[in-house]
């Protein structure tokens, strides 16, 4: 049963036993050279565990085991209904261990326990279950061809998939990769971020308990060199990556240097949230705008980090926004009442504070926050709002990945669309208007993979594809479209 009080979670944290080894070929193992690195709680600075510091030798072992398991057919050749049954058991085990996994996520990444229990872990279980239920309902095609032929179009698993996943939603982003990849019949090697490896390591044992064969689901914690080795490895058929645009470009380059493996990239964003003068509910728009940037400490690729507000309603909107933002003052992530937790590590904490200093130096007006909080306890930053005189400031153009909001003023819809699209990214956007025609017209012109109208970050179920335009990446997570990433199309023609 889920804990309900701060004291409950603190007690469970004190009793928690943490696994830090890699999971290779069905068993937990130390790194080949015995190296380890510290896993640290960003809210307290306390060491949580020693984590296996994997290297090239571990990558080679994992890829060898994955290739052997895949080619044996022990997973890929299972009837879809049987593979789905095992994945449903996997999802059920994630739910059974929800408190443990949520706690690991909170301790490891600084995320509020109220979020990890209500969003991250349940959504990860749902993702696995959703793909488990889909795979025996998707068929191929019989192509219309010459009557002397039978033409079949089928999908086959791509082979060995490396899933290189980020630190901001560790278990959820991992499930978006391994859920469809396993469902399609592939062998999967998960490389979690070294900043938040704990849940990926733990769910590996649950995968085995569910019945996923040895070698089909493996986890290699370690630094970026592990992801590089996987992307360069000739035995890996596909890399699915979520992270920064800069690293995504490197991953694509490594794939090109090696075996031209499939590469799917979900990258950064600088998403615009447009508030038009006929916004139907200004107070709700302000609350939504605050949640869009301060939820998960702003460590969200779709974060609404740019609010574009019409000059006629700016002052009223800013008053509502500051009131809404103040509700996100950071606190202990183990307290269910906390709405914003700790920044993931010292590197990111320093980066975010550096952007705040840059915003001030470039002439933006600091309306709220702007400082570190609870500096004697951990890595916290106040919710921060800037009124920006121009849309070309660094804080308006570069992805900060922290609780920093840039407010930009516009005078007409055309200017808003121009500012919104003037970015290298294209992950998400939103528009607030009471006019349904305006909503359709603006959303069509926004160059983004997801556009929300009169809301932000709604529709979190699995039915909508997730991904971006431009340098926000390629391919899509979630929905049936994600299965396309982990399969190869085959045309078979039989002469009668």
Residue 50 has φ and ψ, to the nearest 5°, of -90, 130
Q: For tokens 């997730």, what's the residue? A: 466
Do the Cβ atoms of 123 and 150 come closer than 8 Å?
Answer: no
Q: For tokens 């607030």, what's the residue? A: 432
Do the Cβ atoms of 447 and 427 come closer than 8 Å?
Answer: no
Burial call 221-249: b when 16+ CB within 10 Å, e when fewer: bbeeebbbbbbbbebbbbbbbbbebebbe
What would the two tokens of residue 285 be? 């728009």
What would the two tokens of residue 260 be? 């031209």
One DSSP character per residue, 288-300 reads: HHHHHHHGGGG--
Nearest to 217 by CA among 59, 56, 66, 57: 66
Alpha helices in 42-193 (DSSP H): 56-72, 80-96, 98-109, 113-115, 121-134, 170-183
Per DSSP, 477 falls in state B
Nearest to 473 by CA among 256, 242, 298: 242
What would the two tokens of residue 494 be? 């039989």
Task: Check if 266 is active-site.
Answer: yes
Look at residue 239 and give its three-state secondary structure. strand
Do the Cβ atoms of 129 and 123 come closer than 8 Å?
Answer: no
Give the end-to-end CA distance of the chain in Å, rounded to a whole number: 61
Angle of CA points 189, 51, 249, to nearest 5°: 50
Rounded distance between C-alpha atoms, residue 54 and residue 32, angstroms: 7
Q: Which residue in 194, 266, 299, 382 is the catalytic one?
A: 266
Where in the sequence numbering do the catalytic residues fall? Answer: 266
């Amino acid at each position: 049963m889920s804990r309900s009080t701060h004291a409950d979670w603190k007690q469970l944290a004190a009793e928690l036993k943490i696994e830090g080894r890699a999971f290779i070929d069905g068993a937990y193992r130390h790194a080949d050279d015995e190296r380890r690195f510290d896993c640290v709680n960003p809210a307290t600075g306390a060491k949580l565990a020693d984590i296996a510091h994997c290297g090239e030798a571990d990558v080679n072992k994992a890829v060898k085991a994955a290739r052997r398991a895949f080619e044996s057919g022990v997973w890929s050749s299972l009837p879809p209904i049987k593979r789905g049954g095992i994945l449903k058991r996997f999802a059920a085990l994630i739910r059974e261990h929800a408190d443990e996994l949520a706690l690991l996520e909170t301790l490891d990444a600084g995320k509020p326990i109220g979020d990890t229990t209500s969003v991250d872990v349940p959504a990860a279980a749902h993702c696995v279950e959703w793909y488990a239920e889909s795979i025996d309902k998707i068929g191929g095609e019989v192509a219309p061809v010459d009557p002397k032929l039978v033409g079949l179009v089928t999908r086959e698993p791509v082979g060995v998939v490396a899933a290189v996943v980020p630190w901001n939603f560790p278990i959820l982003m991992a499930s978006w990769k391994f859920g469809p990849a396993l469902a399609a019949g592939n062998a999967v090697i998960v490389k979690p971020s070294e900043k938040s490896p704990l849940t990926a390591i733990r769910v590996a044992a649950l995968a085995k308990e569910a019945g996923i064969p040895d070698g089909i689901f493996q986890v290699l914690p370690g630094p970026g060199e592990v992801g590089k080795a996987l992307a360069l490895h000739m035995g890996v058929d596909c890399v699915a990556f979520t992270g920064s645009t800069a690293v995504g470009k490197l991953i694509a380059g490594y794939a090109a240097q090696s075996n031209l493996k499939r590469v799917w990239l979900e990258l950064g964003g600088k998403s615009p949230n447009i508030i038009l003068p006929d916004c139907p509910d200004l107070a709700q728009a302000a609350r939504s705008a605050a949640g869009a940037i301060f939820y998960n400490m702003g460590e969200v690729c779709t974060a609404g980090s740019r609010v574009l507000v019409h000059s006629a309603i700016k002052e009223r909107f800013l008053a509502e926004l500051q009131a809404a933002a103040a509700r996100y003052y950071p606190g202990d992530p183990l307290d269910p009442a906390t709405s914003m937790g700790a920044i993931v590590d010292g590197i990111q904490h320093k980066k975010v504070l550096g952007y705040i200093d840059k915003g001030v130096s470039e002439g933006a007006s600091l309306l709220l926050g702007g400082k570190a909080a609870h500096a004697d306890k951990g890595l916290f930053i106040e919710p921060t709002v800037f009124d920006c005189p121009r849309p070309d400031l660094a804080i308006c153009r570069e992805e900060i990945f922290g609780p920093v909001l840039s407010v930009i003023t516009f005078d007409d819809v055309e200017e808003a669309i121009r500012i919104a699209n003037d970015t290298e990214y294209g992950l998400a956007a939103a528009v607030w208007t009471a006019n349904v025609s305006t909503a359709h017209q603006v959303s069509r012109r926004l160059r983004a993979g997801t556009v929300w109208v009169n809301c932000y970050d709604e529709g979190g179920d699995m039915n909508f594809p997730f991904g971006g335009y431009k340098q926000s990446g390629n391919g899509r997570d979630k929905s049936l479209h994600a299965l396309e990433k982990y399969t190869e199309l085959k045309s078979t023609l039989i002469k009668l």
